[in-house]
Structure formats: structure tokens, C-alpha cells
Structure 1
Amino acid sequence: MLTFKVLSALLAYPEPALVTEADRLIAVLEQEALLPPEHRQAIARFIDGLAGMAPLDAEERYVALFDRNRSLSLHLYEHVHGESRDRGQAMVQLAELYRLHGVEIDARELPDYLPLFLEFLSMLPLPAASSLLSEAVHVVAALTKRLTERSSPYAAVTAAVAALAARPAERAAVADVLEMLKPEADSLESLDRQWEEEAVRFSAAGGPDRAAVAASCGR
């Protein structure tokens, strides 16, 4: 499902090459029509806005938003487990899920990075991808709330991600996420720890077994 891949690209660091693909990204969303029309229109406006920015301005906006605010971290488990040991175990399990479906992670990677997770979902059948996304939708919804409060255009992207989940986020679960990493977490010490984490990429070793994925994730 290329829609997941488009949203992954939009949430990753805005490389200049992304702007050259603006029209194609919008076309993919329209052709697949997985998102409701209002979300497709919002994403098209976001892409148009990104294309109209100077590359350095787009990069500085991204860094100021996601790299300098731990409460807006794009690492999913940080919002659920914080710095507890449970986060490491959860990431091991997620990495194992990737391997189970034929995806090998390159070198030192953090599998809970949202753009990476979305790229993985793009390789799965839609029912399995939507079901698996539902397990993280409360984190995505919390990010959307925080981005909306900051009047950030990126709220349109995370809202679109949440719209692809098989089940909407539960209000209580979103509240728990918002309590885990409050804006006070955006301290220099917290940011130093976050910046020590490495960038993530992965590649597919063959394709995922679609029947197996649907069976294991369709719950």
C-alpha cells in the first residue's frame, strides 16, 4: 500500500528530493484513495506548502519540531514506556515482527521510529497493516493533538496516519500518552539522550508472507 509509504516519507527528514516528487505523491494518494477525501486534501495542502518552502527552511522547521522536542518524538515506544527497560524489550519484539515478515533491519536501528514503522506497514496487506497500526494509533493521536496545539502543518500528516488504523484511538489511552512525555520533557538532557539514537532504515529480504501476516495481525 503506497499510501503508507507516502506518509512515511512525509514524516521523515525533508530531503530536497522529496519536493521533486510532490506531484507524484499526491497522485498516489488519489489513485489508492485509502484516505478519506478530507485527509487527502489536507495532505495535498501540506505537500504544496512543503514544495513552496526553501529547502533549508523546511529542514530547520523539521529539526526545531521533532529533534528539539522530546514530547514530539517520532519514536513510538518513548511515549509509552519512556526510558524504562520495557521499551527495549518492546523494540526487540517489534524487530522480531519485522524479521518474521521478511524484513531485515540494517545495522543499529530503532524499529519504533514512526516513518520506519509506516514503511513496514506499506509492505503488508491492507487489513493486516490497518490492524497493526491500531496498536499504535493512540500514540499517533497524541502526536496529532500536540502538533495541532502548535498549529503545525505536520498535524495533517499524523491525522492521516491515524485515519488508516482499523480502530480509532481510545480517549483514555491518548490521555495516558500525553501524561508520559509532557512538554517539560523537552529539556537539554532529554534531547542529548535522544540525539544519541541513530537514524533508521530497513530493507526487505524477499517479501512478507501476506497470508501469514493477515493471520497473525488480523485481531
Structure 2
Amino acid sequence: MTDHPPAPVREPAWQVQSLLLAYPDEHFSWRVRLARQAATALPEPVAAPLLRFLDHVAAADTEDLAAAYVRIFDHRKRCCPFLTYYSCGDTRKRGVALLRMKTAYAAAGLRLSDDELPDHLAVVLEFAAAEPEPGRRLLLDHRAGLELLRLALHDASAPWAHVLDSVSATLPPLAGDERTAVARLAAEGPPEEQVGLAPFAPPAHLPDPVGGRR
């Protein structure tokens, strides 16, 4: 299967998406301006969701946006931006997965700060922009978690859902087994959890993936 968009488009897209999924700090307005310039050169399925996000945040106060970021990503398990949470839960297996990711980053020359975890989606996208093949494999390895995060952000009416739409537009469509994994994860929660995560949408409510791909 031929992937769309082509690699020269995916890499700048991943860099822009990484910038917009980071915490809205004092540099956020600069990231927004840079992202808008870069988005205009991307194909419509990738660019349109980014522009929707940028239009939304253009009218937002940065402090209010930062508070919303914390409320969405830090206080809702279903909107967790740390990808190994979906595949490993809060288990020792997750620690091993994090170590492997950190080792891969170090081998590629990407050094994380002390307050950065290697499975944060913004970090994974930054890695993919710099190292497209191993980065793309990481994104595909966590395809089910990415889709569930996208759906959860839409359910929460969070503007970052548009950024996830754009991320998905850089990846192949969900295969049948991946859709099954999304449905299972939505129903049961991450591995090793004692109970399912009730806030996740039930499998019957899973829509088709966003087109173009994604």
C-alpha cells in the first residue's frame, strides 16, 4: 500500500504537530506563527485540521489555553498523551518500553530534558520529524492508542483533537486488526488495569478513521 502523504511531506508535518502538542508556554505564540507558515505548504488533509486548531487558539488567551491543556491532558486518563500508557498501562512493562524508546532517541542523538518522557506524543513526533523511519514505526506501533486519544479529544471538544486529526492524516488507514485493538482498548482500558476505563467510548461508537490517511 502506498502511504499518503509522501515522506517529504510527513516530516515537516510531524514537526509542526509536535510544536502544537507541547504545553502552551511563553513561546507558544511563536510556535503558532511558525506552524501557520509551515501548514500552508502541506496537503489539505494534513493542513486543514492544523489550520482549524490555529484559528481556534488565535483568539485564545495563552493562560486559559495552558489551563485547558492541563485539564485535558493531565486530569483525564482517556486523553493521556503518553503513548505507552495505552499499550502497557501503569505496569513494569511500561518502564521497559520507555527505556527502549529513550535508548532509540539517544542512538539518534536526541537528548531529552529531565522533565520529558520519551512516549509523550509531542516528543515522539519530534523524533519522527528528525528520524522518519524509526519515528514512523513508533507511531504505527501505537496506532490504536493514537486513534483512541483522537476520539477522546473529540469527545471532550478539545481543540487538540484537530492536531490528532492531522497526525492521523500522515499515517495509513487503520487496518482491521488495528480497529479491533481500538475497540478492545476502549472497552477494557490499558493492560493490567483492574477495571475498564469507563470514560472511553464503547466500541459501537467508534467512527471510521478520519479520511485521507490517515
The equivalent residue for 1:55 is 62
Match among 90, 101, 106 for residue 83 of structure 1? 90
Shift in Å at residue 100 of structure 1?
Answer: 2.2
The equivalent residue for 1:135 is 141
The equivalent residue for 1:180 is 189
The equivalent residue for 1:211 is none
The equivalent residue for 1:171 is 179
Shift in Å at residue 94 of structure 1?
Answer: 1.1
Please give the per-residue CA displacement for 1:169-204, whole angstroms capped at 9, x wherever unaligned: 62112123323252469xxxxxxxxxxxxxxxxxxx
The equivalent residue for 1:105 is 112
Shift in Å at residue 144 of structure 1?
Answer: 0.8
Structure 2 CA distance for aligned equivalents of residues 27 and 77 of structure 1? 32
Q: Do the aligned residues in 2 keep the contact of 1:134 with 1:168 (CA within 8 Å)?
A: no
The equivalent residue for 1:10 is 20
Please give the per-residue CA displacement for 1:129-154, whole angstroms capped at 9, x wherever unaligned: 43432111211110111111222221
Shift in Å at residue 109 of structure 1?
Answer: 4.0
For structure 2, which runs of at least 5 residues remain unmatched after alignment?
1-10, 191-196, 201-214
SS at match of 2:117: coil
SS at match of 2:81: coil
Cα RMSD, aligned residues only:
2.2
Alignment of 1:110-121 (within 5 A): 110-121=117-128
Cα 1:184–1:27 change in 2 (3 A) is closer
Q: Does 1:68 align with 2:75?
A: yes
Q: Do the aligned residues in 1 keep the contact of 2:46 with 2:170 (CA within 8 Å)?
A: no
Q: Do the aligned residues in 2 keep the contact of 1:75 with 1:113 (CA within 8 Å)?
A: yes
Using the size of structure 1 for normalisation, the TM-score is: 0.74
The equivalent residue for 2:208 is none
Q: Which amino acid aligns with 2:87?
A: V
Shift in Å at residue 64 of structure 1?
Answer: 1.1
Q: Which amino acid aligns with 2:180?
A: A
Q: Do the aligned residues in 1 keep the contact of 2:15 with 2:129 (CA within 8 Å)?
A: yes
The equivalent residue for 2:206 is none
Identical amino acids, percent of aligned pairs = 28
Cα 1:4–1:101 change in 2 (3 A) is same
Alignment of 1:194-209 (within 5 A): none
Cα 1:77–1:56 change in 2 (3 A) is same
Structure 1 CA distance for aligned equivalents of residues 146 and 83 of structure 2? 8
Q: Which amino acid aligns with 1:143?
A: L
Q: Do the aligned residues in 2 keep the contact of 1:131 with 1:165 (CA within 8 Å)?
A: no
The equivalent residue for 1:46 is 53
Structure 2 CA distance for aligned equivalents of residues 47 and 95 of structure 1? 30
Structure 1 CA distance for aligned equivalents of residues 111 and 173 of structure 2? 28
Shift in Å at residue 29 of structure 1?
Answer: 2.2
Using the size of structure 2 for normalisation, the TM-score is: 0.75
Q: Which amino acid aligns with 2:148?
A: A
| Regions of 4+ moved over 6 Å | none
